[in-house]
Every structure is written in C-alpha cells, then in structure tokens.
Homo-oligomer: A and B are copies of this chain.
C-alpha cells in the first residue's frame, strides 16, 4: 500500500519534471534571488594607510606594517544598521582580501587579528559582524580571498617561483586555504554566502580542495565559486547591472573559474546573458562599488572619496538593471579607518531604500496565476510607467518569450516584449501609459508558465 503510494507520487513528480524540463533553484538560491540586494563590506589593511588603493600594485606589494589596523571605534552594529536601513538583505565581509590579512581570530593564518595591538590581539571583526547581522536580521556571508596574497607571495593562486621550494609552498598554501576555510565555515554558525575572491580554483587546477569543506560545513550556503561548482555566477561586469536578457540557466556547473576562453568571450557575454537552455540553475550577480561615481570605482575606503558615492538616481537605475533583469545586486561598501560606516554612504543607502519603497508602495494593478495569458483591470484614471513580472521561483525559468499589452480605447497595443522573466522583470516606460486592461501573453515557454506577479506600477520617479 505504502509502496504503491510512493510509486504514484514518483510518477506524478516525474511527470511534472518531464513537463517542465528546466533547472530548478535550491532553497538558498531562491533566498538569494528574493533578497534582491545586499552588500559586500570590503575592509582590509590598506583602508588604514591613507593612500590611494591600486589593486595592481597592491597585489605585488606586501603591506609594510599590519599594526596600522586600528579601527578605534569599530561598531559592526552601526554598519549593519546602516545596511538594514538601506534595504540590504545580506552582508558579506571580506574576511581575507588580497593582502592576506584576516579579520578574525585565526589559528591557521597568523597574519590575522591575533597579531595586532588592536583590542590586544583578541578582536574578531567577523564574529562581531555575524553577531550584528543576526541581531538585525541581515544574512551574513563570508568572502575569502585566496587567489592573491601579497604577504605570502601568492599571485593568481600560485606561489612565486618554480623551484621545489615553490612547489612545496604551493602544497602547503593549498592546505592552508582549506584549513582557513574550515575555520571560517565552522566557527561562526550558518552562513548565507561563501564567496571565494576570484574563485577558489579547484584541485584539478592545482588549487585547494575547498568544495567538500563547504558542502560538509555549510550545505545551506550559496557557494561561489570554484572550477567545480558555482551556485550563482558573476554577471560579467562590475557595473551593478546585467544586460537583458539575463537567464538564470547556465551551461556549466562553474561560473568562470575554468573554460575561460568560452565563458569570457565577447566581453563576458555568456556570464552576462546565461543560456535559456543551460542545464544548471545559476542566477547572475550584479556587483558594483557604492563609491563608483565621477570616474572612480572604489571597493575600499580612501580619504576624501565621499564625492564618489553613486547618486540615488544611478543606484535606482542599477536596481532596475540588476534585480529588474533577474539578477541580484551587490553594492560594495567600506567602513572607514575609524571603524564606522561613513555617514554619507549610510545616508545614500537610506535614500535608495526610500526611493524604492516609494516606487513600489502601491501597485496600479497586480495579479498572479498560471497559464499563457493573464489579464487584469486597470483602475479608471490611473496611469502606469513600470511593468513588473515574476515567475514562480521554485518552478525555474519556464518562460522563453512574452508580450505585455495594454487595451486603450478598445485596441490592444504592445507595452513591452521580452524573453527572460525568472525572478523578476522590471521595465520602465519612457512615459506613463493609460488604458483599461493590461495583459501578459506568454508566447513561448518550457511547460506551463506559473506567474507569481504581474504588476503595473506608477513609479512617481
């Protein structure tokens, strides 16, 4: 009896899967997409040196003195409140970046907070950070840089030199990276996101064997990324946007740690666009530094850089071009050498949140449902200038082509025609439209479309 029941369930589920042969997201991938936007908190020794950050130079120049790490007023609660008040849903800390210095109490990496005078060698920025995230309901993530290490002489994953010494240091360094990863993934509770800076390579490329550690210790986290696996992919730019269309499907299990000639060709086209027929569910990340205006592009705090904070207009367009293109936005923020989240940056995030709240405060019309056509009434006298679509996430990306039409004075006309919807499709119109009915027609799909949201907004913007 029970066997028959299980068998029937299997037949039903198999039939359902057969019907919609698209890759499906894991729970944490859905959580990632629904978060819509979060931050990468970049913090490293050179925040404290008072000099401009030059990545190319810094990668090959060890820091003269790590005792400069001295954020006297460090207050991660203040950071995370700024992020929460700015509407971010997750926060990822650069626990190690390219200097090799680690912002935690490491028993593996001595070049860490154990070795500084600050807080008498007992400080743990990552512990504070995670505690603040949990306090304020922000999902915590860890960013681990192992590709570059100016302290240990590692460049693009490789220990310097070609001698037997270099080979042994490579083996040792790979174990060192694995052991740091074990520490970070086991001592700070469940993490939302594990980000390996420039990838974690992979054993088959001569790198550390990170993936089994992540799978064992943080099975519920987004893993990003090595040559074996990526749960999200880089969106191919640091512009905070992806082009349209941007599919959640991808032809490979990795983002861009390997096979780079293919995945990075044509200005990272595959990373940007994905592939509707790809067998792997791997939504795109759109990342950009908050301090990226006026020709600057700064992930790390530098003196007199507040003028480089992006405008709220620009950030809103980023949101439209990332979240609205089925991608997740990551803004890079950087606390100052005093240990505080700068007020100007906090104010900007707050203003972005206010803007988005206003844009999405009240839909002109909104509906959900299944099937190829959804139609809804537009309240009399209302106009709209923003189309908002969402597929049901657990079903994957089924829609391949759609059209949104409005009926105005008895005749239907196209509002927008598109391909990818996925988590969210946002489209602003050049000017407000009016009409009495709005219709979504799915022209192409793999299986039956399931629409979580078909909405029109008046963005007031």
Contact = CB atoms under 8 A, between A and B. Distances in A.
A49 to B, nearest CB: 14
Contact of A64 (B65, B152, B161, B175): B175
Contacts of A189: none
A249 B110 CA distance: 45
A153 interface: yes
B64 A172 contact: yes
Contacts of A60: 163-165, 168
Given A153-B160, A160-B159, A160-B165, A172 B115 contact: no
A163 B165 contact: no
A106 B114 CA distance: 11
A121 B123 CA distance: 13
Interface string A56-80: 0001111011110000000000000
A243 to B, nearest CB: 35
A117 interface: yes
Contact of A161 (B61, B62, B153): B153
A156 to B, nearest CB: 10
Contact of A169 (B62, B108, B169): B62
Nearest to A66: B110
Interface string A160-179: 11111110110010010001
A114 B107 contact: no
Given A110-B110, A121-B114, A153 B175 contact: no
Interface string A122-158: 0000000000000000000000000000111101000
Interface residues of A, number: 37
Nearest to A63: B172
Contacts of A107: 67, 115-117
A161 B166 contact: yes
Contacts of A115: 106-107, 110, 112, 114-115
A247 interface: no
Given A110-B114, A121-B114, A160-B160, A62 B168 contact: yes
A106 B66 CA distance: 12
A402 interface: no
Contacts of A61: 168, 172
A111 interface: yes
A114 B163 CA distance: 31
A61 to B, nearest CB: 5
Nearest to A106: B115
A160 B152 contact: no
A166 B153 CA distance: 7
Contacts of A164: 60
Contacts of A121: 114, 121
Contacts of A65: 108, 179
Contacts of A152: 151-153
A420 to B, nearest CB: 42
Contacts of A114: 110, 114-115, 121
A162 to B, nearest CB: 8
Given A62-B172, A107-B115, A161-B161, 11 more contacts: A60-B164, A62-B168, A62-B169, A66-B110, A107-B116, A150-B165, A152-B152, A153-B153, A153-B166, A159-B160, A160-B161
26 contacts: A59-B165, A61-B168, A61-B172, A62-B168, A62-B169, A62-B172, A66-B110, A107-B115, A107-B116, A110-B110, A110-B111, A110-B114, A111-B111, A114-B114, A150-B165, A150-B169, A151-B152, A152-B152, A152-B153, A153-B159, A153-B160, A153-B165, A153-B166, A160-B163, A160-B166, A161-B161
